[in-house]
Amino acid sequence: TRTPVTVTVTGAAGQIGYALLFRIASGQLLGADVPVRLRLLEIPQAVKAAEGTAMELDDCAFPLVSGIDIHDDAVKAFEGANVALLVGARPRTKGMERGDLLEANGGIFKPQGEAINAGAADDIKVLVVGNPANTNALIARSHAPDVPAERFTAMTRLDHNRALAQLSKKAGVSVSEIRRMTIWGNHSATQYPDVFHAEIAGKNAAETVNDQSWLENDFIPTVAKRGAAIIEARGASSAASAASAAIDHVHTWVNGTAEGDWTSMAVVSDGSYGVPEGLISSFPVTTKDGEWSIVQGLEIDAFSRTRIDASVNELSEERDAVRKLGLI
Ligand code: NDP
């Protein structure tokens, strides 16, 4: 039998955590033959709720679960972790300035980066879901100097999946016929969902749809503002689709992208496509044998360039702000 993979989930008692843990435990994160050891991290006030979730996980009698531990101490929670899903974050509350939000999250992601550096397994892979995800990942990464920078990633897979869904509806095709969708930049309203390199049934998607006005006035804002539309409709946030995207992100990272396709992940920039080195920005990436690489050589037209630059500039500003606060 295989040795269990240790998966640490922070914010385990939250909405996303509740949608995520059962899917990890059922084998959807890593594979139906991979046993998992779950470590749940919560703040002290939420430990009891995490215990309740763990009781339900017990009651599912998942054969792949080899153990569940609950912690309120990051050092213990990340000890031996192979995969870390950083979901818990400080939400923006009314009247909160961006600086306050970044500072509050620095207080969470700095110690978590340190704890990952100190005790995670050598093959640790980190996905940051908690917002502002890209910059939280940057903070964690900068406090984990012994962990290769490419192990810290942030989630834009939900945006990617939302873009697939919108394009499939517009073109009247199944999502399985669409390849090479890309989200560029920040997981925020400035993100740029790019269909100019996407394909529908092997043909260029932008040319197939041939509707620039839909692209600019419908597709891009719909994808970027989908989270708010879901809160408006459900009266609660898009926790289940966020959890589903987190599962997809890690599953693709570990198991690889399909031949001829790619995915979107926010990863540390090597300067590709003019994105300043060191920023954690979303790119088109392929994955193989547990490693990602940025797709090279795509032509970026003036329309795409403006959109990418706007989102990347926002990431630079966030980096400057956390630098000023001494968080990186
Ligand atoms: P959720 O589980 O709904 O959300 C958690 C984080 O995911 C938020 O930062 C949220 O950002 C982000 N997120 C990213 N994409 C999405 C999406 N599509 N839809 C919704 N959220 C998204 O929050 P809860 O408040 O229910 O739970 C958070 C839990 O984290 C709490 O139990 C809290 O105790 C815990 N926590 C744990 C910490 C730790 O383990 N050290 C530290 C801080 C909190 P946004 O705010 O922008 O919606």
Q: Which of 104, 135, 154 is the last residue of a domain?
A: 154
Distance in Å, CA 299 to ligand 1 centroid: 36
Tokens of 246: 């987190």
Do 123 and 20 sit in the same domain of this protein? Answer: yes
What's the whole-number mean pLDDT along residues 209-227? 97
Asked whether residue 98 is marked as a ligand-binding residue, the answer is yes
Q: Domain range for residue 57?
A: 5-154
CB contact set of 78 (below 8 Å; sequence gap of 6+):
8, 39, 41, 84, 112, 115, 116, 118, 119, 120
Q: Which of 134, 154, 174 is the last residue of a domain?
A: 154
Tell me the residue ranges of DSSP E strands in 34-155: 36-41, 65-71, 83-86, 125-128, 152-154
d(CA 187, CA 159) in angstroms, rounded, equals 8
Candidates 9, 20, 43: which one to mutate for ligand 1, based on the most atoms within 8 Å of Cβ? Answer: 43
Do 174 and 263 sit in the same domain of this protein? Answer: yes
Whether 285 contacts 295, CB under 8 Å: yes
Ligand 1 surroundings by CB, under 6 angstroms: 10-11, 13-17, 41-43, 46, 87-91, 108, 129-131, 158, 227, 237-239, 242
Mean pLDDT for the chain overall: 97
What's the whole-number mean pLDDT along residues 169-180? 98
The model carries a pTM of 0.98
Ligand 1 atom closest to Cα of residue 17? 2
Amino acid at 5: V
Residue 231 lies in a domain: yes
pLDDT band at residue 95 under the 50/70/90 scheme? confident
Ligand 1 atom closest to Cα of residue 14? 27
Closest CA to 255 of 225, 288, 223: 288
Do 310 and 187 sit in the same domain of this protein? Answer: yes
Do 74 and 204 sit in the same domain of this protein? Answer: no
Q: What is the pLDDT of residues 131-159, one digit of tens each?
A: 999 999 999 999 999 999 999 999 999 99
> Structural domain tally of the chain?
2
Do 91 and 176 sit in the same domain of this protein? Answer: no
CATH at residue 101: 3.40.50.720
Do 236 and 109 sit in the same domain of this protein? Answer: no
Active-site positions?
A: 187
